[in-house]
A and B are shown apart, each in its own frame.
Chain A
Amino acid sequence: MKHIDEYRDKELVRLFAEEIKKIASRPVKIMEVCGGHTMSIQKFGLPYLLPENVELISGPGCPVCVTSRKYIDQAVAYSRLPDVIITTYGDLLRVPGSTSSLDQEKALGADIRIVYSVLDALLIAKSNRRKKIVFLGIGFETTAPGSAAAIIKAAMAGLRNFFVFSAHKVMPPAMEALIDEGVMIDGYLGPGHVSTITGEKIYYPIPEKYGLGVVISGFEPVDVMQSVLMLVQQIENKTPKVEIQYTRVVKPEGNLKAQQMMEEVFEFRDDWWRGLGVLKNSGLKIREQYARHDAEQMIEVEVEETIEPKGCICGEILKGIKKPKDCKLFGTVCTPTDPVGACMVSNEGSCAAYYMYNR
């Protein structure tokens, strides 16, 4: 890939680390909201390069991790219907539900297909007209426009057998809720790809209401180190604001076309987040106009009672209060091959990233 070496340049990473050390006069905690950042930070061992008084903590930005067990249970229930084909991104498959998982249902014969894109789910709907195709729509502002685009296409093409089961969420309510709850942080590393869609304005309340800075960061080690430096500078100068480090793909206004698609198809609703509970206007519900493609409204199903796993502290980890190593299940009972909680399943989950790179 073009220029990748520059963004992974060891010497630059070290220089940024030195500069951060030079100017950080007091202990600061910086939360990376996005699971992609968590992965990159652990993979490149960045916490070991930063001075002791600058701590990076992981936030609630792993889509699979914040999704409720009830959602998994309902997806499992859909998969048991004989006329349904479930289409899903791969990382949802192994997330444990209350008594089963999609993986287990697949082994038992349910028609569950991993897709790389929601557009593949549309193709499956086209070639299986007698089946109901349910796409499991999870993720934040990065994936929600894709689900919206697919619903619009299905409506235009009269694909009445295509449904989305939406657990789509938006990021800002969670970022505000964490501060409201009293989680002690001094600034946010803003999510790179969410911001590609939304632009910077969704974060304005963070400096305005809470006096904390947000730096929207790229994913390579030099990107992250430069963003941390920008945040530490803001903290030292007491000038909290929204800044973009990842300027090569994040425009201040975001992607307007994608925003319009989201707006066309979805409306806000209150939604449950693991660790944070119900947050006002934090989820995306399919609008009445597109109800024909809403699995929740169109496909009736009985869902088992939710049982949460004992001992799993995924919720506290998502809030940045605890680290994976604080969990007594970590690496013993709970591993990527046999996960107890969602944080160990997704590549973007803190537990999985720690297990892989920092055990």
Chain B
Amino acid sequence: MATWLCALLGESSYEASLEMLDMSEIQVGDYVLIHTGFALQKLDEEEALETLKTFEEFRNLNKDLDIEEQQHNTRIT
């Protein structure tokens, strides 16, 4: 039967049903996406960090290009 979770977001707390998730894959401390009273998916920490890594690489690539552009005084496209 339904299992419940209590989620904290800042000062507020929500109750949501976990029945749409695979209970063997979630544990206390996980982040989940909640929509209209149901947890719809567990937030994939690995994927989230991977996305942030992509952002960081993108930022660094842009920095490198800026430096290169300054050095050669041309616009790289």
Footprint of B on A, CB under 8 Å?
1-3, 6, 9, 11-12, 15-16, 18-19, 22, 89, 116-120, 139, 142-143, 145-146, 149, 153, 193, 196-197, 222, 226, 245, 247-251, 255, 257-258, 261
Contacts and interface: CB of A to CB of B under 8 A. Distances in A.
User: Secondary structure at chain A's binding surface: helix, strand, loop or mixed?
Assistant: helix
Contacts of B17: 117, 119, 149
Given A3-B52, A196-B33, A249-B33, A149 B38 contact: yes
Nearest to A258: B20
Contacts of B41: 196, 249-251, 255
19 contacts: A1-B9, A6-B52, A6-B55, A117-B16, A117-B38, A118-B37, A142-B40, A143-B35, A146-B36, A149-B19, A149-B38, A197-B40, A222-B55, A247-B47, A247-B51, A248-B43, A249-B42, A257-B19, A258-B20
Task: Name, among B20, B40, B58, B77, the residue most crowded by chain A CB atoms within 10 Å (CB to CB).
Answer: B20
Interface residues of B, number: 31
A116 B54 CA distance: 36
Contacts of A250: 41
A153 B51 CA distance: 38
A279 to B, nearest CB: 24
Nearest to A139: B36
A245 B55 CA distance: 12
Contacts of A261: 20
Contacts of A145: 20, 38
Contact of B48 (A15, A116, A248): A248
Contact of B31 (A2, A9, A153): A2
B11 interface: no
Task: Name, among B9, B17, B37, the residue most crowded by chain A CB atoms within 10 Å (CB to CB).
Answer: B37
A47 B54 CA distance: 23
Given A197-B40, A247-B44, A247-B51, A149 B35 contact: no
Interface of B: 2, 9-10, 16-17, 19-22, 31, 33, 35-38, 40-44, 47-48, 50-52, 54-55, 58-59, 62, 77
A12 B55 contact: yes
Contacts of A117: 16-17, 36-38
Nearest to B48: A248
A257 B48 CA distance: 23
Contacts of B33: 193, 196, 249
A251 B20 CA distance: 14
Contacts of A222: 55
A12 B62 CA distance: 10
Given A12-B58, A145-B20, A247-B50, A255 B43 contact: no
Contact of B20 (A89, A118, A226, A255): A255
B15 to A, nearest CB: 9
A149 B31 CA distance: 22
A356 B62 CA distance: 34
Contacts of B59: 11-12, 15
A31 to B, nearest CB: 22
B45 to A, nearest CB: 8
A149 B20 contact: yes
Contact of A15 (B47, B58, B77): B58
B14 to A, nearest CB: 8
A249 B36 contact: no
Contacts of B50: 247
Contact of B36 (A15, A89, A196, A258): A89
Contacts of A18: 62
Contacts of B40: 142, 193, 196-197, 249, 255, 258
Contacts of B36: 89, 116-118, 139, 142-143, 146
